[in-house]
């Protein structure tokens, strides 16, 4: 939702927006999309429902800012220069996020709505982009451009399946194995 120039300068409004966005992000990660209602966010943030609705008229508006907050808080291990080690670090960070059980609930809510809601499709794309930033950055530094996306899909897909669909631990040995398999199918750039 666009903010007027006066709204962005009023410290009360800035504080209200910050509090509500943090409360909505926490609810979204802890309880999922269905439980993150205007009423629940208002309760968590300590504001009235009318205040929340005034700034975020729809649940997609509220989720957009909550997901933006979640994405802004995402961190990725810095690359060290070694392809396999950097991939291992980035995939381990993704696996840890998934093992906490919060990201899959978040994605499930977004994916469920993405089929019929353009706003939810945008949120899905933003979450995927944020979750894969570290892996994508490592691959782009070492692979031919045409190999980045297929390799990203293989690596991230394997982690997602193991952690969310199979409910299994993503071990260091598993990560090493999928890296070896994915890189065995790509042509590394020289130099």
| pLDDT digit string, tens, across residues 108-144 | 788 888 888 888 888 889 888 988 999 999 999 999 9
Q: Does 189 have pLDDT greater than 80?
A: no
For CA atoms 7, 8, 11, 16, the dihedral sign is positive
Instruction: Indicate whether 6 pLDDT > 70.
Output: no
Q: How far is CA 94 from the centre of its chain?
A: 10
pLDDT beyond 90 at 187:
no
Question: Which of the four pLDDT bands, split at 50, 70 and 90, describes residue 162?
Answer: very high
Give the whole-angstrom CA distance, residue 90 versus residue 109: 24
Q: Select from 88, 90, 86 the least CA-distant residue to 130.
A: 90
Return contacts of 91-95, CB within 8 angstroms, 24+ apart: 91/135, 91/155, 91/156, 91/159, 91/170, 91/175, 91/178, 91/179, 92/170, 92/172, 92/175, 93/134, 94/131, 94/132, 94/134, 94/135, 94/156, 94/159, 95/159, 95/162, 95/163, 95/170, 95/175
Look at residue 8 in the predicted model and tell me its pLDDT: 60
Cα–Cα distance measured from residue 115 to residue 131, given in angstroms and rounded to the nearest whole number: 20
Percent of the chain with pLDDT over 70: 91
Has residue 1 got a pLDDT over 60? Answer: no
Segment 37-47 mean pLDDT: 95
Q: Which CATH architecture has domain 5-70?
A: Orthogonal Bundle (1.10)
CB distance 1 to 61 below 8 Å: yes
Angstrom distance (rounded) from CA 188 to CA 191: 9
- Output phi, psi for 159, to 5 deg: -65, -45
Domain ranges of the chain: 5-70, 76-183
Instruction: Tell me yes or no: is domain 76-183 CATH 1.10.357.10.
Output: yes
Q: Is 143 helix (H, G, I), strand (E, B) or coil?
A: strand
6 or 131, greater pLDDT: 131
- Residue 119: per-residue pLDDT: 84
Give the Cα separation of 103 and 101 in Å (integer): 6
Mean local confidence (pLDDT), 144-172: 92
């Amino acid at each position: 939702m666009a903010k007027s120039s006066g709204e962005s300068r009023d410290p009360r409004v800035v504080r209200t927006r910050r509090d509500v966005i943090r409360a909505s992000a926490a609810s979204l990660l802890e309880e999922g999309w269905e439980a993150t209602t205007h009423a629940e966010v208002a309760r968590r943030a300590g504001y009235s429902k009318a205040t929340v609705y005034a700034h975020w008229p729809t649940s997609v508006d509220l989720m957009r800012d909550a997901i933006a907050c979640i994405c802004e808080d995402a961190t990725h291990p810095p690359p060290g220069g070694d392809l396999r080690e950097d991939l291992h670090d980035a995939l381990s960070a993704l696996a840890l996020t998934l093992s906490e059980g919060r990201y899959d609930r978040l994605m499930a809510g977004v994916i469920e709505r993405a089929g019929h809601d353009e706003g939810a499709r945008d949120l899905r794309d933003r979450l995927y982009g944020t979750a894969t930033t570290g892996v994508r950055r490592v691959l782009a530094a070492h692979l031919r451009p045409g190999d980045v996306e297929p390799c990203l899909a293989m690596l991230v897909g394997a982690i997602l399946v193991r952690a969310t669909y199979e409910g299994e631990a993503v071990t260091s040995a598993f990560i090493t194995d999928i890296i070896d398999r994915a890189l065995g199918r790509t042509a590394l750039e020289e130099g």
